[in-house]
Chains A and B, each alone.
Chain A
């Protein structure tokens, strides 16, 4: 009886401790984002008010409209009392604020990277998971070795390659390298799903009159859709947040900057406009956070992939 009670007490104590630690970590991680969100909803200049407001008494979307370049100059002027920016610069500031372009560029780059890396990865994954050839496992390992080289090491040769191809200051200079940054991980993930499919299905499709490429399209791809989706989500999220290459190849041109590179410029150019910077941060992470929440099941599948033998 005392052993049972002690066991039950230990379980409850463990559960309580786990809950407390989880809440503490969540608070630690989420508090900064909460404060950024709160700041983004304050009127311009309100971030300097004493006492500090944890949540604005009158939340406003003015900062978001300003960052997206859709705020009226008159509205901006009325809020600049007490701001650190001189009135003569108001028009220039309003015109230069435009976070829609980096958001659009990031969307184009990430979507292209996801789609094209899926195309390449699915073909190589099929070979690794379904075909018999010498040095199959060594090929997969060799592919992964490439992914282990940090981007900081490859950034210079990649930059020079894009320059010699005449692709600097274009979105292609971000799309092409990001595809190949993602191919190793995507290949591994998709190969795990392909490996689980029974070989009988392919044999049956051959006997039904289908050639290998048709079988790949009509049987293998639909059945491995969860794996493909996971790989696509990973590629999208990974390329969205890629900063080093994006910053280097865009060379400071706002028209071709993606969100991370534009964010750096923005925070330097408007370094005292905390409401605007906060709004830009929220816009930068909103889509990614939404996708991670909605597709968290696929993200977790991707993280736990690799448990299948070839």
Chain B
């Protein structure tokens, strides 16, 4: 097993900068998730670590060894691809055995290890089938089997669940996480699905535009987003943002038909910076809908309600913007109805209007 480190990685494709001076450490034995929208550079970073792409500048270290000049076949890294990349002309057995045969391992040992791996992944009955005879979930497990059979130092996974249906994706997420815990192999996992990222990661790295936006424990990233991008990307439904003017004297925040007291932890920094406007962020699950006005409640007009089974997703107009709130399923206001929203002070996040960075807490 080995930790992975990248230092000052720069990658350009012509005039496009895919990675901009990225430095990261992937802890030994942990599952680190790179999450971000399409084109943020997460797959490029993964491919550079794998050796399938060369960095324009910077270093990749596995353990303590700089591996920039080491070809991918010598890096002791296994990779699971989004498309699974199973060899269509080989059986499941041969697909899983393929990396072992590259290392000139004896036939007897190849057979033993392949059968062990197949048993672990529930593939024992499928060893003589070809990939075209398998379902999506089975193909995904074969791709996993091919990765784990050779006991690599690092696993790389490039959106391995994105081709599965929603139900299977949820099942495989749990299986993958458990497998990683059992094997204890350093794993770098790329996804654009923030829910997948939150559930699987020991450490979360949020990327955008070739830059790291924030990294840390999933709970830390979720509870204390560093900027509006992280706040809006992590969590589903996304965080609500309302642009408000600041009354430093009153320590209050104002928007059309919206007013609330500034959270006490931000009052000092608001006064010190003399801010006259901020972006207020509140997560939908932190907004409570009450039928009648209470102290501190803000009025909102129902735009649309979407029943989700175990909860109701309400879209409301508040403060001149649309916001979402999650309510119990029995709360069913009509379109155009006025409802009252309340929220706890500690659930309010404030961001700078110009930089969109989170304001520091005093």
Contact = CB atoms under 8 A, between A and B. Distances in A.
B89 A204 contact: no
Contact of B73 (A198, A206, A223): A206
Contacts of A219: 87
Interface string A207-233: 111110010000100110000000000
Interface residues of B, number: 22
A181 B286 CA distance: 75
A285 to B, nearest CB: 35
Nearest to B88: A223
A207 B79 contact: yes
Interface in B45-100: 50-52, 71-73, 77-79, 81, 83, 85, 87-89, 98-99
A244 interface: no
Contacts of B98: 205, 208
A44 B83 CA distance: 68
Contact of A209 (B81, B87, B99, B156): B99
Contact of A208 (B83, B88, B89, B146): B146
Interface in A122-161: none
A222 B89 contact: yes
Nearest to B47: A203
Interface residues of A, number: 16
A75 to B, nearest CB: 54
A210 B71 CA distance: 10
Contacts of B310: none
Nearest to A207: B79
Contact of B85 (A203, A210, A214): A203
Contact of A210 (B52, B77, B78, B102): B102
A209 B72 CA distance: 7
A6 B255 CA distance: 73
Interface string A158-200: 0000000000000000000000000000000000000000101
Interface in A65-116: none
A201 B52 CA distance: 12
The winner among A200, A201, A207, A219 for most chain B CB atoms within 10 A is A207
A201 B79 CA distance: 12
Interface SS of A by simple majority: helix
Given A207-B72, A210-B73, A198 B103 contact: no
Nearest to A206: B72
Contacts of B85: 198, 200-201, 203-204
A201 B87 CA distance: 7
A51 B89 CA distance: 61
Contacts of B150: 208-209
Contacts of A209: 73, 99, 102-103, 150
Contact of B102 (A208, A222, A223): A208
B77 A207 contact: yes
Nearest to A200: B85
A263 B79 CA distance: 60
A217 to B, nearest CB: 12
Contacts of B102: 208-210, 214
B81 A204 contact: yes
B154 to A, nearest CB: 11
Contacts of B146: 204, 208
A208 B99 CA distance: 4
A204 B102 CA distance: 13
A213 B99 CA distance: 16
A223 B81 contact: no
A207 B155 CA distance: 11
B46 to A, nearest CB: 11
A209 B149 CA distance: 13
Contact of B81 (A200, A210, A214, A222): A200
Given A222-B89, A223-B88, A223-B89, A207 B83 contact: no
Contacts of B88: 223
A34 to B, nearest CB: 43
Contacts of A203: 50, 52, 72, 79, 81, 85
Nearest to B102: A209
A226 B331 CA distance: 63
Given A207-B72, A211-B73, A223-B88, A198 B79 contact: no
Nearest to A219: B87
Given A206-B52, A209-B99, A209-B103, A200 B72 contact: no
Nearest to A210: B102
A200 B83 contact: yes
Contacts of A223: 87-89
A209 B71 CA distance: 9
Contact of B83 (A198, A206, A210, A211): A198
A132 to B, nearest CB: 11
The winner among B71, B73, B78, B81 for most chain A CB atoms within 10 A is B73
A201 B51 CA distance: 15
Contacts of B52: 203, 206-207
Nearest to A215: B73
A132 B88 CA distance: 25
Nearest to B53: A203
Given A201-B87, A204-B79, A204-B146, 14 more contacts: A200-B81, A200-B83, A201-B85, A203-B81, A204-B87, A206-B51, A207-B52, A207-B77, A207-B156, A208-B146, A208-B150, A209-B73, A211-B73, A223-B87
Q: Which 10 A-B pairs have the closest CB atoms?
A: A209-B102, A204-B85, A208-B99, A200-B85, A207-B79, A206-B72, A209-B73, A222-B89, A200-B83, A200-B81
20 contacts: A200-B83, A203-B79, A203-B81, A204-B85, A204-B87, A205-B98, A206-B72, A207-B50, A207-B52, A207-B99, A207-B156, A208-B146, A208-B150, A209-B73, A209-B102, A209-B150, A210-B73, A219-B87, A223-B88, A223-B89
Interface of A: 198, 200-201, 203-211, 214, 219, 222-223
